[in-house]
Structure 1
Amino acid sequence: MDLSLVLALVAVALSVLFLLVTRARKPRHRGKLPPGSLGLPVIGQSLGLLRAMRANTSEQWIQDRVDRYGPVSKLSLFGTPTVLLTGPAANKFLFFNAALASQQPRTVQRIVGERNILELMGADHKRIRGALLEFLKPDMLRLYVGKIDGEVRRHLDENWAGSRTVTVMPLMKKLTFDIISLLLFGLERGTVRDALAGDFKHIMDGTWAVVPWDLPLTAFRRSLKASASARRVIAGIIRETKAKLERGEASRSSDLIACLLSLTDDSGARLLSDKEIVDNAVVSFIAGHDTSSILLTFLIRQLANDPDTLTAMVHEHEEIAKSKGDGEALTWEDLAKMKFTWRAGQEMLRLVPPVFGTFRRATQDIEFEGYVIPKGWQLLWTAAATHMDGSIFPEPDKFNPSRFENQSVAPPCSFVAFGAGPRICIGMEFTRIETLVALHYLVRRFRWKLCCKENTFVRDPAPSPLHGLPIELEHKAASP
């Protein structure tokens, strides 16, 4: 398309959106709005926030707003009037208020699908959440530990063993992709898994686009194309799994798709439609893939220059290994013994939460701290607002796993790496399993040091370390 035509269309669209936003800003409520400014039409403060995230100054960006306006302020993000709320009381208000619906940026809705658990509320949300929890309940998770153990060992043998240097982030994404592919979709290695890998590499590129327009050469266009391709692959997996279930070649515990297809209501009708399975499989894949890979990457970064934490972690895992036979896989009971390792994981989630924050939407006019939040406005919470608050977590910049020996010290809704309330992340236990199994073999088989002197990271929108975190490896004596 001719560039001048594109610019003309953009100008027209901006004019229309300006009128719509201007009209939307006319007060239709009584009461005092939070302090702050909605900024420029459509764009608002979106570019400023995204720049701060990519420059790793997003925490300061939030703090500057709090210093200027207080813990409650209005702004505009991604074309929608928004209220930023900070502090434990604000988090509790956001997570437990029935008048608030979950809301992702319109870009996320279009990429992921509108029948996913993040978007639904009421009876539909309860139905979908209940279905996904069937796959993630403890007796099911016990069955997956051995499969995850096998994937981790295979990954380390193929990608780490024999190497002098590796780049951590892409390898952790590869590991968690393989685990998720197996447990969600029942996919062994092959062309279908490779096709999904290519799609999910780009599916998140445009999720936080400032303006959700499907234009050529944009990250949002790449995400839409990748999503459409992945959804076709998943639809094909659903058809194949249905056939396997009918032939008795699969069971409810085989993988997520088989589990969701097997669920029925009181009348015997299927609990979820094919579209709902596809949408929620995409969300589950993104959540399970990104959270664990980011957590593992940043723990590896931390352990490179933290000998005390590394020593304690190695001791914990060597003690567990002594109780097992050669080549014996980890069990659910073994994971329960990895208490120090998971405290380190929680502390890393506090310092570098994989999700910067998410949105809620007011379904009616509501009040908080004397301010009115109009119906239809979105509310933003960010994990850093409490995670890096020195009055809640003393010396917040310091990595200190002992904080989590007694989690009742911090006020409720302060540590919110997985959210809280009725919409708390249902995959947090799955993330814990992936992380503990991977670290068990990493710290026992390798030592490492960072290749880059500069130890920084950016958010785009998820955190990513400089150059993907290249490290130099030293191989320990062979471990089972």
Structure 2
Amino acid sequence: MDFFQIMLHLVVFSISFSLIFLIYKRKSTPAKLPPGKNGWPIIGETLEFAGIGQKGSPEMFIQDRMRKYSQDLFKTSMFGENMAVCCGASGHKFLFSNEKKSVVTWWPRSVDQVALSPESIENFVPEDSIKVRRAIVQYLKPEALQYFIPIMDSMAKEHLEADWSPNKQVKVFPLTMKYTFSLACRLFLSVTNPNHVARLSDIFAPIINDLLCVPVNIPGTAYNRAIKAGHVIRQEFLQVIKQRKKELSENTEKVSRDFLTNTLLALNENRRFMDDMLIATNIMAFIIGGHETTTTTITFVMKYLAEYPQVYSEVFKEQMEIARSKGPNDLLNWDDIKKMKYSWNVACETLRLTPPIAGTFRKAINDFTYAGFNIPKEWKILWSPYSTHKNPEYFPDPEKFDPLRFEGNGTAPYTFVPFGGGPRICPGREYARLDILVFIHNVVTRFKWEKVIPDEKINYKPAPNPAEGLPVYLKSHNHKY
């Protein structure tokens, strides 16, 4: 074998070896995960996200890590899970458009254990859950909710007359929480007895306060209190369901028309047996997800109206035109709601600046790549309105309270997301809109107010709430419609 043959063999061998090495190296190179850190063992960065025990907030958590790591995606660890946080309008679009393709809805274990019964988790039937969700969506469509506008109006008037008018100073947050919970009990279960409503509210308190907590189920912990409260409230709802079924079997005509009745009738039409516990769990989930977020929005609407007198004047003018068009005993209706355009712009600007939720979660059902990074199967994913709501690219001068942003064509897609988006958009968004607007109408046409604490601190649970409950001085209007 001459020199040239030896060299040829060496070259072929070198190239072959190099190719094998590169292929092996490529296969053995770990996936490129998003930048970020995991924080403490087990709890990860849960406390930092919730703003617990420090001067922080979910907004600061998101914004700080977007600056530090990436405007598109970063990793963290929360609730004992590896988690990616999708940011920006593109991140929202990706998640909302890939439901059941790449991701599905997920909630931390603490939420599941509190909101669901052990039997529901063990005997979960996806088809039944879909049936109940469809019943919820049907009940919460605008055409169905129109019937309840006069009830909302009547209850708002009664609440303000009983709990606000006798006082020169009130705390907005706890009183509004009382009102929204009473309204939910009335519209979903037809529970109207004040003592019964108050008892249910007391049971609900630890669920609302301790839902997103470190899941340590030891007597005396917040998690343990929330689990016990969840069990008690489900049993309460089961009794209401049992009684309603009895009433329906005896006389359909005279039974209260509410969410529970509509659900039972819809499921009966399909001739499908439905576990009462599943219905109770869904009612509980909607009240958990609905009444505190609506309370937060109403509270911060009142905060901003106190801080911006010119905005209050425009809302007052709009609402008084509606009030003067009504007879002395007339209640609000759908046509009145459609006239509250500026008031809804004010509510939207409130939702932009102070979203009542810090985001919701998804779970990766397969490996996928986003923004150049790999998201492994089973990783959890968080999206948050805080990644877009104050981005100057989407909202110029983002810290300015400007309801006129929502005039005309409104906002760019996937930038204003207080209710999420895609197939899993919050089914209660229209209910929340009506609840907020009806309350605004009544409180603005009755009172003007001033903040007692000009620079009141905001706490997060992780939903924002004024540290002292937003105390205000009330001044009644001296007018007749």
TM-score by length of 1: 0.89
Per the alignment, residue 215 of structure 1 pairs with 218
Q: Distance in 2 between matches of 1:275 and 1:396?
A: 45
Q: Distance in 2 between matches of 1:223 and 1:100?
A: 28
List aligned pairs for 1:119-134, cutoff 5 A. 123=127, 126-134=130-138
Per the alignment, residue 50 of structure 2 pairs with 50
Per the alignment, residue 32 of structure 1 pairs with 32
Per the alignment, residue 264 of structure 1 pairs with 267
Per the alignment, residue 236 of structure 1 pairs with 239
Per the alignment, residue 209 of structure 2 pairs with 205
Q: Distance in 2 between matches of 1:418 and 1:46?
A: 22
List aligned pairs for 1:41-440, cutoff 5 A. 41-51=41-51, 55-70=55-70, 71-97=72-98, 98-113=101-116, 123=127, 126-210=130-214, 212-248=215-251, 254-264=257-267, 268-270=271-273, 272-408=274-410, 410-440=411-441
Aligned amino acid, residue 249 of structure 2: E
> Shift of the alpha carbon at 1:123?
5.0
Contact 2:58-2:462 at 8 Å conserved across structures: no
Q: Deviations over 1:203-261 (max 9, x none)?
A: 12222213x12112211112112111111110000001101111215668711111111
Contact 2:234-2:277 at 8 Å conserved across structures: no
Q: Distance in 1 between matches of 2:265 and 2:28?
A: 47
> Shift of the alpha carbon at 1:32?
1.5
Contact 2:459-2:467 at 8 Å conserved across structures: yes
Aligned amino acid, residue 287 of structure 2: F
Bigger mean CA offset, 53-62 vs 104-113: 53-62
Which ranges of structure 1 fall in alignment gaps of 5 or more residues? 1-26
Aligned amino acid, residue 407 of structure 2: E
Q: Distance in 2 between matches of 1:193 and 1:154?
A: 15
Contact 2:368-2:374 at 8 Å conserved across structures: yes
Q: Deviations over 1:273-302 (max 9, x none)?
A: 212201110111122211211111001111
Q: Deviations over 1:386-414 (max 9, x none)?
A: 00111111111111111111345x33111
Per the alignment, residue 464 of structure 2 pairs with 463
Q: Distance in 1 between matches of 2:81 and 2:28?
A: 16
Aligned amino acid, residue 236 of structure 2: V
Q: Distance in 2 between matches of 1:250 and 1:81?
A: 52
Contact 2:217-2:224 at 8 Å conserved across structures: yes
Q: Distance in 2 between matches of 1:61 and 1:391?
A: 20
Q: Distance in 1 between matches of 2:116 and 2:409?
A: 36
- SS of the residue corresponding to residue 76 of structure 1 reads strand
Q: Deviations over 1:342-365 (max 9, x none)?
A: 010011001111101111100111
Contact 1:74-1:83 at 8 Å conserved across structures: yes
- SS of the residue corresponding to residue 92 of structure 1 reads helix
Q: Distance in 2 between matches of 1:184 and 1:205?
A: 22
Q: Distance in 2 between matches of 1:28 and 1:45?
A: 30
> Shift of the alpha carbon at 1:128?
2.9
> Shift of the alpha carbon at 1:262?
1.0
Aligned amino acid, residue 161 of structure 2: D
> Shift of the alpha carbon at 1:135?
1.3
The RMSD of aligned alpha carbons is: 2.3
> Shift of the alpha carbon at 1:94?
1.2
- SS of the residue corresponding to residue 478 of structure 2 reads coil
Q: Distance in 1 between matches of 2:434 and 2:40?
A: 45
Per the alignment, residue 19 of structure 1 pairs with none
> Shift of the alpha carbon at 1:263?
1.4
Aligned amino acid, residue 467 of structure 1: E
> Quick one: structure 1 residues 68 and 267, their matched pair in 2 at CA, closer, same or farther if it must change by over 3 Å?
closer
Paired residues in the alignment total 449
Q: Distance in 2 between matches of 1:196 and 1:334?
A: 32
Per the alignment, residue 10 of structure 2 pairs with none
List aligned pairs for 1:16-27, cutoff 5 A. none
Q: Distance in 2 between matches of 1:437 and 1:116?
A: 36
The structure that has the greater radius of gyration is: 2
Bigger mean CA offset, 134-143 vs 376-385: 134-143
Q: Distance in 2 between matches of 1:250 and 1:318?
A: 38
Per the alignment, residue 4 of structure 1 pairs with none
Aligned amino acid, residue 73 of structure 2: V
Aligned amino acid, residue 165 of structure 2: A
- SS of the residue corresponding to residue 74 of structure 2 reads strand
Bigger mean CA offset, 245-254 vs 395-404: 245-254
Bigger mean CA offset, 345-354 vs 201-210: 201-210
% same residue: 34
List aligned pairs for 1:5-24, cutoff 5 A. none
Contact 1:84-1:380 at 8 Å conserved across structures: yes
> Quick one: structure 1 residues 319 and 74, their matched pair in 2 at CA, closer, same or farther if it must change by over 3 Å?
same
Q: Distance in 2 between matches of 1:84 and 1:52?
A: 19
Aligned amino acid, residue 344 of structure 1: V
Q: Distance in 2 between matches of 1:124 and 1:406?
A: 41
